[in-house]
Structure 1
Amino acid sequence: MRRFSLWLRGKPLVADSILAFGLLLLDLTGLGESREKVVYLVIGGLLPIPVAFRRAYPRAMSALMLLLALSTSAVNYLLDDHASHPALLALGIMLYTLVAYVGRREGLLLLVGLAVESTVSVLLLDQPVPSTVAFISLFYALCWTLAEFNGARHAYDSEVAARLAVADYDRERRTHEAVAMERTRIARELHDVVAHAVSVMIVQSDGARYALRRDPDVAEQAMATVAATGREALRELRRTVALLRTDHAPDSLPQHGTAGLAELVEMMRGTGLAVDTELTGGLDGIAPEVSLGVHRIIQESLTNTLRHAGPHPKAWVRVRRRDADVLVEVTDSGGVPVHGPPGSPIEGSGMGLVGMRERIAVLGGTLETGRMPDGAWLVRATIPLEPGPSD
């Protein structure tokens, strides 16, 4: 029975048709009092029809129901037939429908029409005034009250449904944003690992190719650097992928520190890039994500210097640990890159600076990049020791 009730909720026309059929059966109980049984049956068959379509066309069906009621009173008066039609209870049902599903204004208009219809019925059919008025008033008041109650419930259900829809949309939007952020994080990490190694390997490979016949020892050293860089990149890539596969905690990030910076600088020097470093305050013991951020900023800056700073590039790395943050400054020798190997600029994707800005933004720091008046390129980053998202 409960399943049938739930099914009817989604089929208003079926439910209202069942209600109309019930009114038709109820109206047949007054057939014995009528003198004109054929007319009574015709009227009794017409009165329930608006109820079947009351929710599909509430205004039109209410007007039709009121017209049928007035016509019934007029026909009974002309035929001098005082038999009652129980199906006229549909007037209260239509009042309920208008108030609950359309609004109070339409309900008031129908109520005025019902008052006129009741007055006409009492006058034409000589019905007892006190009892008839009392019954009609009580019946219509009950219908209005039920409509107000159910209307408030429908409004509440609609509001809950709207809030659930908004919540579902917000949840879906947050899911998409989380996926986009994760994709950005993965892309940034892979770029930092792969782009640096590939750039070094390209520079060394070009140098080895041109030195192969003239100076085999230099070529061999360059290829050794290529192999070492490749192995280091593979280790870093495996470690990065392993971290990206899990929701790792911050303390599971690699702690690069001073030793990691020294290893990075030494590797870049092996490629022919002259690097001068100045470290103040130390990088050991700071938060792993800050340490990784410092390492990646310096790595990307030196890689860009190797790509674009000409045949004899040089860079100055200054790292200063202060009370509340770490200041990183990387300046290169600038100049006009020459074309043609060795030393020709390597074309990049343009995502290096974007990746640095994204990383600094995640850590809640600031990043400044640009060309100095003397032609040198400067990267200056400030990273808080207690990282947090920027405003």
Structure 2
Amino acid sequence: MRRFSLWLRGKPFVADSLLAGTLFLFDAIAFVGNSEMRSWPLYILVAVAVSVPVAWRRRHPRIVAASVLTASLFSSLAGMAVGESTNLHPSLLALPIMLYTLVVYVGRRDAAIYLVALTGDAIVALLAFGQEPISAVLFTVLMYALAWVAAEFLGARRAYDEAVEARLAVAEYDRDRRAEEAVAMERTRIARELHDVIAHGVSVMVVQADGASYAIRKDPDRAEQAVANISATGRQALAELRRTVALLRTNPYVDDMPLYGTAGLAKVVDMMSRAGLNVEIEQTGNLDDISPAISLGIHRLVQESLTNVLRHGGHAPRARVSVVRRDEDVLVEIVNNGVGVSTSTVQGTGNGLLGMRERVAVLQGTLEAGPAEDGHWRVRAELPLE
């Protein structure tokens, strides 16, 4: 039964057609029980005129309301003409039904006008059929009052349901938007991690390969060392890539993965030194007990900055790295102290600096990148500890 009710709720015309058929059935039962009725064609005509339009009450409420009221007036006047005071139609319950429909689907103004017309129709019916005024008036008033109150209650319920549906729609949209933002942030994070790993290793390998090609004939020992550095850098980049993929598949800051910290910075500096970059590093404070997110951020900032110095630092690239843990934040500063013009064939895309800015923004920190007062390029970041 509940399924049938839900099915009817989605098919209003079918429900209204069943209602119209029920009203006509009431008239048919009354007709069968009244053996003294002489004007049965008139009775059937009125029954059809009152009940059938109800099937379209929600599609054309004003037209159906006027039609039912007209049929009721015609029934009263025709009953007076033929002199049959028993010519009453149970299907005239369509009158309060149409009042209810006007209140719910049209508005109170049209319903109030219709109520005034119903009052006139009730007066005509009293005169036509000679009913007791008090009982007839009380019944009519009660019937129309119940129809109006029910309509007001249902209208309030519908307004509440519409408000709930609107809020659900907004919540669903917000959920979808948050999901899209989460996907976009995840894509950005993956792109940033892969860029930091691959661009760093490949850049070092390209620089070493260029150096080996220059020295392969004049200084074979130096070329051999450069090739060894390329091999070591490639293996390290591959290991770092595998580690990054493992992190991205699970949690980017899981506890069983080694943190970067002091040892990680020393490893980056050692690799860059073997690649030909003269690096000085200064670490102040305990950098091994800070959160993994901050530790990873420091590592990537130093790694990317030193890679850029190696690529664009000229013939004698030099850099100074300073990582200072303070009371409320960690200060990371990388300064390019080299001179000369770079002869590297590696061209930058700007993604490195963009990735650093995104990473620092995620960590709620600040980043400054640009030429310092002495003309050297400087990257300075402040990463809050909490």
Q: Same fold (TM over 0.5)?
A: yes
1:345 Cα deviation after fit: 4.9
Between 15-24 and 178-187, the greater mean CA deviation after superposition: 178-187
- 2:17 — aligned with what? 17
Q: Which moved more, 1:255-264 or 1:274-283?
A: 274-283
Higher mean alpha-carbon deviation, 115-124 vs 347-356, is at 115-124
Alignment of 1:325-336 (within 5 A): 325-333=329-337
Task: Name the counterpart of 2:244.
Answer: 240
Aligned to 2:294: 290
Residue of structure 2 in register with 1:120 after alignment: 124
Higher mean alpha-carbon deviation, 245-254 vs 213-222, is at: 245-254
Corresponding residue of 2:149: 145
Match of 1:8 in 2: 8
Task: Give the whole-Å Cα distance in 1 for the aligned partners of 2:174 and 2:79.
Answer: 62
CA deviation profile, 1:89-134 (whole Å, cap 9, x unmatched):
1001111122233333332222122112112222344333212111
State the distance in 1 between where 2:10 and 2:159 align: 17
Partners of 1:2 and 1:295 lie apart in 2 by 63
From 209, 221, 225, the equivalent of 1:217 is 221
What is the percentage of aligned positions where both structures have the same residue? 58
Q: Is the 8 A contact 2:194 2:241 kept in 1?
A: yes
Aligned twin of 1:263 = 267
In structure 1, how many angstroms separate the alpha carbons of the residues matched to 2:352 and 2:62?
A: 66
Q: How far is the alpha carbon of 1:35 from its aligned partner?
A: 2.8
Question: Which stretch of structure 1 is more off in the superposition, 244-253 or 254-263?
Answer: 244-253
3-state SS in 1 of match to 2:367: strand
* Mapping for residues 283-322 of structure 1, pairs under 5 Å: 283-322=287-326
Secondary structure of the equivalent of 2:255? helix
Query: Residue 280 of structure 1 aligns with which residue?
Result: 284
CA distance in 2 between counterparts of 1:60 and 1:377 reads 81
Paired residue for 1:365? 365
More deviation, 287-296/115-124: 115-124
Please give the alpha-carbon distance, in whole angstroms, between the structure 2 residues aligned to 1:13 and 1:229.
75
**Aligned-pair CA distance for 1:334:** 6.3
Partner of 2:53: 50
- What TM-score do you get using the length of structure 2 for normalisation? 0.93
Question: What is the rounded CA distance, in whole Å, between the counterparts of 1:368 and 1:288 in structure 2?
Answer: 22
Distance in 2 of aligned mates of 1:335 and 1:79: 118
User: What amino acid is the match of 1:75?
Assistant: A
In the alignment, structure 1 residue 92 sits paired with structure 2 residue 96? yes
1:335 deviation in Å?
Answer: 5.7
In 1: Cα distance, 2:339 partner to 2:48 partner: 99
Contact 1:309–1:345 at 8 Å: present in 2 too? Answer: no
Q: Which residue identity is paired with 1:76?
A: G
Within the candidate set 106, 109, 118, 1:105 is matched to 109
Query: CA, structure 1 residues 124+337, in 2 after alignment: closer, same or farther (shift >3 Å)?
Result: farther
SS in structure 2 of the partner of residue 59 of structure 1 = helix
CA–CA separation in structure 1 for the residues paired with 2:93 and 2:340:
95
Tell me the C-alpha RMSD between the 2 structures. Answer: 1.9
Distance in 2 (CA, whole Å) between partners of 1:186 and 1:102 is 56
Q: How many residues align?
A: 382
Question: Can you list the C-alpha shifts for 1:125-180, whole angstroms capped at 9, x where unaligned?
Answer: 43332121111011111112222222222222222222222222222222222222
Which consecutive unaligned segments of at least 5 residues does structure 2 have? none
1:65 aligns with 2:68: yes
> Does the CA contact (< 8 Å) of 1:254 and 1:288 recur in 2?
no
Q: Deviations over 1:352-371 (max 9, x none)?
A: 11111111112121111112
Amino acid at match of 1:46: A
- Counterpart of 1:39 in structure 2 is 42
Unaligned runs of 5+ in 1: 387-391
For 1:263, the aligned partner's letter is K
Shift, 1:44, TM fit: 1.0
SS at match of 1:56: coil
For the pair 1:78 / 2:81, whether they are aligned, the reply is yes
Superposition deviation, residue 313 in structure 1: 1.8
1-structure distance, mates of 2:253, 2:197: 20
Q: Which moved more, 1:123-132 or 1:309-318?
A: 123-132
Deviation at residue 291 of structure 1 after TM alignment:
1.4
**Is the contact between residue 337 and residue 344 of structure 1 (CA under 8 Å) also seen in structure 2?**
no
Could you state the TM-score of these two structures normalised by the residue count of structure 1?
0.92
